[in-house]
Amino acid sequence: MSNGLDISVSQMEGRVPVSVLHITGQVDASNAGDLETRASEVIEAGAKDVLLDLAKVDYMASAGFRALHVIYNSLHGGVPQVGEAKAPHLQILGASDDVRKIFKTLGFDAYLNIHDDLREAVDSF
């Protein structure tokens, strides 16, 4: 299994500035830490709103979903509370059908929104 994870960052403007992390590869236990580190660098550099572009992620293991929760906690200052509005500062873009299915199974769709369109995703912040 490939352990390479390519993460590039771009900036977009919606109602607020949005940092977009474009992720390519398979996210698993061997590289989920790289995703956490990259997101943490972006957040430490001042990003308040983050969009994770998963369009080129063809597999995401549980360690990758853990990374999403870690990033959520960094951006919102705590764990997601059921019943609250879904993550206002973290949005997901373009998850494949397979990845989307795991989102649903794990119940991560209870606190994270998945978008299909980049512009719509950026404007959702």
Report the interface residues with other proteins, using CB under 8 A.
1-2, 26, 28-29, 32, 59, 61-63, 65-67, 69-70, 73, 78-83, 104-108, 110-111
Measured distance CA(39)–CA(52) in Å, rounded: 9
CA dihedral 77, 79, 96, 100 (to 10 degrees): -160
Q: Which is nearer to other proteins, 16 or 106 (CB)?
A: 106
Cα-to-chain-centroid distance, residue 24: 12
Burial of 77 (0-12, 13-18, 19+ CB in 10 A): exposed
Q: Which is nearer to other proteins, 45 or 105 (CB)?
A: 105
| Smallest separation (angstroms) from other proteins to the CB of 18 | 23
Beta bridge partners of 24: 6, 56
| Smallest separation (angstroms) from other proteins to the CB of 85 | 14
The amino acid at residue 59 is Y
Beta bridge partners of 57: 25
Q: Which is nearer to other proteins, 2 or 10 (CB)?
A: 2
| Smallest separation (angstroms) from other proteins to the CB of 16 | 25
Q: Which is nearer to other proteins, 85 or 105 (CB)?
A: 105
23 token code pair = 């992720």
| Smallest separation (angstroms) from other proteins to the CB of 123 | 27
